[in-house]
Structure 1
């Protein structure tokens, strides 16, 4: 199992963690000056969690870029957002001590650009892209952990001969396709036959521009190898199907030291690709978690990623005892923040903020109020529909009150067209997120069932 604190072993830590903390306190006899930390896309939910972090009394958190511009849309004007952020930072009357974020694209890719301009800490843009550019990332992974990645190839969805070329690479049905840069499961498709591929290509050609245009702007800011320059944001990946029990290893790199610190299980609805809930801590065997930690240290050291948080998604095929690396994300998972707070005592935003300030993360372990915690995705499986009714504030509060510590975040309102929701997979629509804690996984699931009985959404379903 991952070590209890910071994921390191005695051989890699010069003195015990509690001793490091004691020495740190002794070396700071006076109260530090307030630090100004700017968070891209800061919303109220996460602002409250940030204010409960260790040392937060000495930090002023400032929002940078409206969260609606980076999260509630699929149209990303990265040059415009960077200018907006730079103007606000240049006008700020005080020190700019850190710039951070907890969201996926485009926030993750804007951070190195902003931090470089204002002299704050994060990883380099090139090392970040070695993780986020899916073809580059797979190529780097193949160099050091080839037995734990699937067969893959890049293809141009606008090439009418793309399918034969994929076959020439050694891939055969079934395989999975997704954009070179995406987030969540957006524009990801399982391909079992040529008809599936034609359907996926039609969708990719129609929608990939919303990703490729902003991502190509980021690629233009980086120094890329020639073999990567030719595989720009308009390209896609085809990969061998991998599967098993899915999980995410949350970790960070501090001054070159790679530290995995927690594993979260990702549990899907039966027979579909849509996520049902995230569970922390993981139920995977300790030896499997340890092997994932070893792989994590190997690949993240190889990328050159440094002084930033990350997470890596894995599959464990229980039948063959095979571990597969699915993808690397260059930030904490915001979906996991409440889980860590419930189980460990504070949100893993602690890692993000400490690293941005140049500190070794001071992340507690198992000091929270709950043994387990989950984030549930309350979904509908329509082809499309329009929302005609949602629970009101009083109904939401009544549902939350059924289980103390529950937080419900509806993702729709009356009039919402489900197909207009951002960050959805190809098979369902998440209409609410529900965070809960409990004594056990079984009790957590029981509590969830009681809560959703009080949530009544209505839809006008397409014929």
Structure 2
């Protein structure tokens, strides 16, 4: 009999990837929660979403074999609660929160890999004396701030001066409630140490600046075995924090990748995370030959799905599904059409603006046909304000994602520039 796998926020793009994994012919994929409720908004009513998901799954006339997702907050934090309700496989809520609660995660990481962790502390953005207290904790300019629970680079700021801190705190005070209120509901469902419970979703992290070559180690834990299986490079735009593209396979030295894999196994084993996929973001400081651990995500990186399909022949949705069904993942290597692949973020660096022109479906289809392996996914529609885009970093707006495969990186970058010339976006009412 076919297995029934329920997918939170399932959209057409990812359904197509799922239907091409090994064994998909014996799996029925069922969507749970409208994709727009997790993609196109920044307001999340977690109790209502859980009730909707529970009603949908409980009303299914058949066996529930797995409940999965590939999204960050709020999907990732709801999965353990739903799995506990329906008896499906997933990481425990406590182990997941040891990754997603940024302060608890840093405290836990420091216990096993202290040399890879920057100086850090937490602070209340509504405390007028917060900046002085950061100094008392040994954090001085420059440093980085972000919410205790964040997704992507949302509400993350580099702080070089008191004026920068004042600006960041103003934004955090205005918007952190969108994250803290739903995240606090999840925290209430878990048994937390008192020192962690006191640092709820309304708090922020402040960390020493770290940097270098950034990458992501994709991995999973199956029956207690931690398996890192791939490294993807994360390339930023020059002089800013915004991501330019993800590149797979990684160009980092093999010895650095092996060391990152070793650190990954040590950290995830210590956390007690099991029966789920994850990824860990690292920096390699080439000058000091030092590895920094940036953060842990309790899911596959969905932005990498097309990269794996192009290079290895199958998306790493394979990992999520296999682990959730109790199988050792059947990932392959190098069986795709391309030697390497990238996911480009076409960004505009504006304060705000209205979208005056988006490439037409015919223009996009023409580019995709002329350049095999190219997929163009606009994130905006004509007439919308850029500030209406959800889940953006603090410095730019990603107006499109462009997936491409090639034989080498120079060809990838050259083809990307060709795509931009053929598919112009235009804006008016621009705020610098």
Deviation digits for residues 34-71 of structure 1, max 9, x if unmatched?
A: 00000000000010110100000000000010111011
Q: Equivalents in 2 of 1:250, 1:461: separation in Å?
A: 41
Contact 1:156-1:235 at 8 Å conserved across structures: yes
Structure 1 equivalent of residue 305 of structure 2: 337
| Aligned position for 2:394 | 426
Matches within 5 A, 1:385-404: 385-404=353-372
Is the counterpart of residue 290 in structure 1 residue 258 in structure 2? yes
The yes-or-no answer on 1:84 pairing with 2:52 is yes
Query: SS at 1:401's partner residue?
Result: helix
Tell me the residue number matched to 1:304.
Answer: 272
What does residue 9 of structure 2 align with?
Answer: 41
1:381 corresponding residue in structure 2:
349
1:110 corresponding residue in structure 2: 78
2:106 matched residue in structure 1: 138
Matches within 5 A, 1:11-410: 33-410=1-378
Cα displacement string for residues 273-315 of structure 1 (whole angstroms, at most 9, x for unaligned residues): 1110000000000000000000000000000000100000000
Return the alpha-carbon distance in structure 1 between the equivalents of residues 60 and 103 of structure 2: 39
Partners of 1:387 and 1:417 within 8 A in 2:
yes
CA RMSD between the two structures: 0.6
Structure-2-length-normalised TM-score: 0.99
Contact 1:64-1:85 within 8 A present in 2 as well: yes
- Whether 1:459 aligns to 2:427 is yes
Number of corresponding residues: 431
Q: CA deviation at 1:341?
A: 0.5
User: Can you list the C-alpha shifts for 1:88-118, whole angstroms capped at 9, x where unaligned?
Assistant: 1111011100000000000000000000000
Mapped partners of 1:450, 1:407: distance in 2:
14
Q: Secondary structure at the match of 2:399?
A: strand
CA contact (8 A) 1:402 1:451 kept: no
SS at match of 2:227: strand
Is 1:443 the equivalent of 2:411? Answer: yes
Q: Distance in 2 between matches of 1:440 and 1:462?
A: 37
Further displaced range: 128-137 or 64-73: 64-73
Unaligned runs of at least 5 residues, structure 1: 1-32
TM-score computed with the length of structure 1 as normaliser: 0.92
Gaps of 5+ in 2: none
Aligned equivalents of 2:106 and 2:37: distance in 1?
A: 30
Counterparts of 1:122 and 1:462 in 2: how far apart (Å)?
Answer: 45
Q: Which consecutive aligned stretches of 4+ in structure 1 deviate over 4 angstroms post-superposition?
A: none
Moved more, 443-452 or 42-51: 443-452
Determine the C-alpha separation between the residues in 2 that align with 1:375 and 1:260.
21
